[in-house]
Amino acid sequence: MARLCQDLRRVPLCAGSQDPRFTCLIMVNGTTGVIRFENVGMRYGTGPEVLRDVTFELPPGSFHFLTGASGAGKSSLMRLMYLAHRPSRGLIDIFNRDLSTIPRADLPALRRQIGVVYQDFRLLGHLTTFENVALPLKIKGASEGMIRKHVGELLAWVGLNDQAHARPATLSGGQQQRAAIARAVVTRPQLLLADEPTGNVDDAYAVRLLFLLQELHRQGTTVVIATHNRALIEKFRHPVLHLEDGILSRVGEDPVYDG
Ligand SMILES: Nc1ncnc2c1ncn2[C@@H]1O[C@H](COP(=O)(O)OP(=O)(O)OP(=O)(O)O)[C@@H](O)[C@H]1O
Ligand SMILES: [Mg+2]
């Protein structure tokens, strides 16, 4: 985490996605995906399928945008990926394990390897901004000194130093969103799933937050960002997974992750 913040300090706000620090990809030759879906369907209760025959793989160290109209199924796909919902059919492999064979008791440990930015933030209302961001580090057993240092640096990066002791109810939507992003990246998870993470911030902050996620990716995290923001997709130029009425297609070829 220290490196994440140190590296970011050297990045000017206007740095472009051509910056060589952001084009270094992770070696994955011979390894299988962080997540693999095969013919996955999903429904809520007894309702119709909202995802149909979804097949894709996320190579380790990959970065994808996830696009699609409102209601196309982006958040539903995210829910499957962060193990909050089971598929109604098909196969999901996560971290090389078949989800259908994973005992319920093992799920919390798997989830701790996944950083999630929820579309509705889900900050804990009784904790301050600082405490919300610190929580995943606390759960991992980090020392108080480490927590103070890393959380402080991240809050500075997302522009929330002045709100460190405020509770979520007193923050604006954009401030809550920035806190939710800081919380999702603070442990440097293996997989980062961000559901419309810049929907509530202005363009300059959207780019700044994308640099944070891009730096996390550069350090090895596999990233998926659901977004409607075309400008970000064009600026950062990662492959796009597109959903239309629950059916997933891929736009553009994946780069070769050959480090
Ligand atoms: N908890 C739920 N119970 C029942 N149906 C749901 C639930 N959540 C979503 N849906 C339905 O699933 C479909 C996909 O919704 P989802 O939230 O995944 O779309 P989305 O692409 O994330 O949309 P948005 O861009 O508006 O966030 C929609 O038809 C929606 O009505
Ligand atoms: Mg959504």
Which residue CA neighbors atom 4 of ligand 1 most closely? 44
Nearest to 1 by CA among 145, 204, 171: 145
- Cα of 68 vs centre of ligand 1, distance in Å, is 12
Q: Which two tokens stand for residue 57?
A: 């793989």
| Ligand 1 atom index nearest CA of 196 | 27
pLDDT of res. 28: 34
H, E, C per residue of 203-228: HHHHHHHHHHHHHHHHCCCEEEEECC
Chain centroid, CA 202 distance in Å: 19
Residue 70 alpha carbon to ligand 2 centre in Å: 7
Rg of the chain's alpha carbons, rounded to an integer? Answer: 18
Q: What is the distance in A from the centroid of ligand 2 to the CA of 245?
A: 13
202 has a pLDDT exceeding 90: yes
Structure tokens belonging to residue 49:
């399928």
Residue identifier of the C-alpha nearest atom 2 of ligand 1? 44
Q: What does the pLDDT read at residue 33?
A: 80
Give the confidence band of 252 by pLDDT, cuts at 50, 70, 90.
Answer: low
Question: If you measure from the C-alpha of residue 195 to the centroid of ligand 2, how many angstroms do you get, rounded to a whole number?
Answer: 7
| 4-18 tens-digit pLDDT | 656 555 543 333 333
pLDDT, tens only, 127-176: 999 999 999 999 999 999 999 999 999 999 999 999 999 999 999 999 99
Residue 180 confidence (pLDDT) above 80: yes
